[in-house]
Structure formats: structure tokens, C-alpha cells
Amino acid sequence: MFHDEHAPLALLVELTPKLAKRRFRESIYEFWDYKCAYCEDVATSLDHIIPRFKSGSSNRNNLIPACRRCNSNKGSIAVDEWYQQQEFFTQVKMERIKAWMSQEVVDIFSYPLHELKPAV
């Protein structure tokens, strides 16, 4: 009679990390309006601003939406250095990216960040 008592809970426990991860990623895309943070093309992935192999984290402040071109193009070059060489570079966008990076948010449940608004 109570065999299924824990079934919904088990399901929830299983789904939550996946959902949380999806929402976490989604919240980053949303914040940047689904555009590449560098060139404003359609974002197709989240770029590690500081690459993982350079000890860049997967925290919110190191992940930024990017189009395929920017993401693969940037490679291991430091973001400032790479970005300033691009024809779509603007100081405003660079400041926005830096503001994003300076957010010391490590908790994936602490979205959305109402306090940080992208510069226009």
C-alpha cells in the first residue's frame, strides 16, 4: 500500500540537479538575451571566459554566452587580449563582460542577478 510512498520524492531528487543545471545555464543566456557577449550574434554555447585548463571555474561569473565562432576562435588567448583584436570589440561590451566576471557568485541557485544590469 505504501510501496510508492517515496517514488515522487525519489523522482524529485533525481530531477533537481539536472533542472537546476538547466536553469542555471538558462539564466545566463537570459541575462545576455541569448546573444554572444562578444559579438552579439546568436549564442550557441556558454564560453568559459577563463578556460578550464587555465583553472577557470564553471561558476556563473566565468560562463558567458558565445556564438560558435567566438567560442572556438578565442581558444586559450586571454579574453582582453583576444577581444581587443576583434573587429566587433567595443569598450562598453568589454566593461559589461568585466562587470559580469567580477560578480562573486558561486551558488548556482542564486539566480537571477537582479542587481547586475548590462550596460546599454
Task: Map residues 61-80 to x or -, x wherever contact with Zn ion holds by CB under 5 A.
Answer: ------x--x----------
Nearer to Zn ion, 27 or 86 (CB): 86
What CA–CA distance (Å, rounded) separates 38 from 104? 21
Alpha helices in 43-86 (DSSP H): 68-74, 79-84
Nearer to Zn ion, 23 or 69 (CB): 69
Dihedral sign of CA atoms 84, 87, 88, 91 in order: positive
CB of 118 to Zn ion, least distance (A): 15
Give me the half-sphere count of Cα atoms (radius 13 Å) on the Cβ side of residue 28: 29
Q: In whole angstroms, how close is the CB of 37 to Zn ion at the nearest point? A: 8
103, 59 contact by CB (below 8 A): no
Of 36 and 64, which CB lies nearer to Zn ion in the complex structure? 36
Residues from 9 through 48 that contact Zn ion (CB under 5 A): 36, 38-39, 41
Residues that bind Zn ion (CB under 5 A): 36, 38-39, 41, 67, 70
